[in-house]
Amino acid sequence: MWLHCDHPAIYDGSPIEVSGPVMFIGWALSVRGIASVLIFCDGEQIGEAAYGIGRPDVTALSSHLRHSVRCGFQYVLDPRQIAPGLHKLTIHAVSYDGATASNQVMIDVTYSAEDYASWLRKTAATPAALEWMRRNLPHLPEQPSISLFLSVSDETLPDELTATVRSMEEQAYPHWQLCLACDKAAFESIGEHLGRLCDAEPRVTLDVEPFKDRASFPLEKSHGDFLGLIDAGDVLQPSALFEAVYFLNRHADVDLVYTDEDMIVDFNLRDHPRFKPDWSPALLQTDNRVGRLWLARRELAVAAGGLSQVVEAGGEQRLLARMAGSARRVGHLPFILYSRGQA
């Protein structure tokens, strides 16, 4: 059995300073196959790595082992779940025959909330960068339309809807559609506000189902080549859709793509980043760790049964699993482009 951590390097004995999220990347290999790669801090399990990521470099050296094709793992360490100071981190791989292997490293946690805010200021798309995106849009060979669906209930606040629509209008990529799905109770509650939003922005459409107790997502009323979901109060960063389309132009075989995300907290500050690993089926085995934003080719979503099932408990996770199982390739766009609103 073999276990190796490529990044960060953990073999020189010195502690790794953790002042923000850290991505651990490596591979684990066993003749019988790897059941799990677990992460421990000071002897207590704090997470499980996403296992099953393609590692062609390992395959080239271990082609005689049938499990070598997808033997990679990734784990994003969120320092906020650990108290400041020195800790022992253990990466522990378990094979299906019960064999184990471990790597250990000391980490020095120095994270503070100000670190993430500072990082955002340094990495956010500047006005000049957004202008570059708009100016270079004609050079993209493929410019698919994107339809995002939003379910409106009688508990949806007008200010939440306004914030989401504003974030769509600020997109550097213009070929989008926001499809509002509204049931009877919601229309009675905020129908006038919905009408004003649609009148002000033609790319925002409204589907009212007056005889249903909850809204569904009728795909036939959308025109997007790619489909996705967004909730009221959630916002996209201005570069989000351009970055996604740029990625899809470079990876034509990707049928489903997902991004990293964070959360809007008090006074519109952003925190709780989720730096996700590259695609692995493990991301959807126990819960939905793909999260938002995700975009799927229309034909893939249709073949998986459409989007209306997501209103059920666990429906989005099941839909993503079906689409991922049929996709030629699932892509990960490692940028924080989606911010969830305050719960």
Identify the CA nearest to 162 among candidates 189, 196, 191. Answer: 196
Contact 168, 204 (CB under 8 A): yes
Residue 66, judged by CB atoms within 10 A of its CB (0-12, 13-18, 19+), counts as exposed
Identify the CA nearest to 294 among candidates 250, 221, 240. Answer: 240
**Beta strands across the sheet bearing 22-29:** 2-7, 22-29, 72-77, 50-53
Count of H-run helices and E-run strands, the chain = 8, 18
pLDDT confidence of residue 235: 97
pLDDT confidence of residue 165: 97
3-class state of residue 4 by DSSP: strand
**Beta strands across the sheet bearing 16-18:** 16-18, 100-109, 85-95, 34-41, 44-48
Contact 61, 107 (CB under 8 A): no
Distance CA(66)–CA(278), nearest Å, equals 21
The pLDDT averaged over each successive group of 10 residues in the chain (343 residues) is 85 78 90 92 88 87 81 86 87 94 91 75 90 94 97 90 97 97 86 93 87 66 94 96 96 96 86 86 87 97 88 86 95 94 79
Strand partners for 31: none
The single-letter code of the amino acid at 53 is I
List the domains of the chain with CATH numbers: 2-111 (2.60.40.10), 120-340 (3.90.550.10)
Identify the CA nearest to 325 among candidates 287, 280, 259, 278. Answer: 280
Strand partners for 41: 44, 89
Reading the block at residue 141, the tokens are 């060979």
The single-letter code of the amino acid at 39 is I
End-to-end CA gap in the chain: 44
